[in-house]
Amino acid sequence: MPLNAQILLDNRPVGEAVASNFKLVSNETPALQDGQVLVRHHFLSLDPYMRGRMNDSKSYTAAQPLHEVMGGGTVGDIIESRHPKFAVGDQVVGMGGWQQYSVVSANEPGALRKVDTTHIPLGAYLGAVGMPGVTAWYGLVNIIAPKAGETMVVSAATGAVGSAFAALSRARGCRTVGIAGGPDKCKYAVDELGFDACIDYKLHKDAASLSKALKAACPNGIDGYFENVGGMVLDAVLSRMNAFGRIAVCGMIAGYNGAPLPLANPALILISRLKVQGFIVSEHMEVWPEALKELGTLVATGKLRPRESVAIGLAGAPEAFLGLLKGKNFGKQLVKLI
């Protein structure tokens, strides 16, 4: 069995996460038992939700245990199998974590899913045709429930979730506006992702200024908003929501370091009779087949071509992750392990 490089959560962050919260170790991979397979990871997914799991605080999921392998999505190939439904060479997606190899009990429901890379690149199964894409699909389709001609807005617009949201929203005949950080990301959002407009939040020092930019980009107001950021961005969007608008709350990255995120004017939720609903996509596995079918078609036909930021080697995962939290990535953040 191969020697396995792993990254553990060594200690919990105090405020901002730092590289010393992680520890790189090597361990021997255990021999397989009946029903298990050995997966060699090709790519590791880095996602903002991982920052919340680093804290030992109340959340929608259990905290990442200390001194254990950091959790995370992976894609790779099976190099040894003691399960009849999985063969050596099968390409699979799962939650292998921040390590080069994983031993998976393949009988556990949802532990591994075979994927086809004939028309869809392997890494896409961690982004547009994976958890981030389904996250965008669920928030848009099941919570916002858009109608053709309405205006949709998404923050963190050029990330894995935002780019999928754009393709899904445009396919439903909606005006689609993004909020992103920096002129390069905004240009990419419009020129390559197909957003009708994109607002650079870094040009605005407060919610009032950002609200004015939203008014210009959304002359008919905002009917649906997909929230990834919180803070000033949410305050600005609330001021432009139409009556009976819908807000899908996916993330609040502005508060992941523990700072509170008070709303400037929560009365707008009542005044505009807004629907505001948080969700966790892993609690809605029943929609994944339908969502993945649409997302796979969009990628295979070239209608969704998200960029990827790829760090090389497991040792680079912590710095890539910290950069992701600061918006340094351009598109989906992956770590190439092979």
**What pLDDT was estimated at residue 53?**
94
Model pLDDT for residues 230-261, shown as the tens digit of each residue? 999 999 999 999 999 999 999 988 887 777 88
Q: Is 105 helix (H, G, I), strand (E, B) or coil?
A: strand
Query: Pseudo-torsion of CA 71, 322, 130, 68, nearest 10°?
Result: 0
**What pLDDT was estimated at residue 62?**
85
**What pLDDT was estimated at residue 59?**
77
Own/partner pairs, 301-305, CB within 8 angstroms, 24+ separation: 303/167, 303/171, 304/128, 304/163, 304/164, 304/167, 305/192
> What residues does 44 pair with on adjacent strands?
74, 335
**Cα–Cα distances in Å, from 41 out to 50, 52, 119?**
19, 24, 20
CB 292 within 8 A of CB 136: no
**What pLDDT was estimated at residue 58?**
75
The ranges assigned to domains in the chain are: 3-127+307-336, 131-282
**What pLDDT was estimated at residue 259?**
77
**What pLDDT was estimated at residue 246?**
98
**What pLDDT was estimated at residue 261?**
87
Nearest in space to 324 (alpha carbons), one of 314, 315, 334: 334
Q: Quick one: how far is CA 85 from the chain centroid? A: 29
Architecture per CATH, domain 131-282, reads as 3-Layer(aba) Sandwich (3.40)
Model pLDDT for residues 272-321, shown as the tens digit of each residue? 999 999 999 999 999 999 999 999 999 999 999 999 999 999 999 999 99
Nearest in space to 197 (alpha carbons), one of 212, 205, 186: 186
Low-confidence ranges of the chain (pLDDT < 50): none
As given in the structure block, the two tokens for residue 175 are 């005006």
**What pLDDT was estimated at residue 250?**
95
**What pLDDT was estimated at residue 1?**
82
Nearest in space to 279 (alpha carbons), one of 229, 239, 227, 324: 227
Question: What is the dotted CATH code of the domain comprising 3-127+307-336?
Answer: 3.90.180.10
β-pairing, 151-155 vs 197-200, is: unpaired
What proportions of the chain, in percent to the nearest 5, are helix, strand and coil? 30, 25, 40
CB 329 within 8 A of CB 309: yes
As given in the structure block, the two tokens for residue 49 are 């939700």
CB atoms within 10 A of CB 131: 21
**What pLDDT was estimated at residue 174?**
98
d(CA 206, CA 227): 17
Residues 6+ apart with CB under 8 A from 198: 157, 177, 178, 179, 180, 185, 186, 187, 189, 190
Nearest in space to 275 (alpha carbons), one of 230, 225, 201: 225
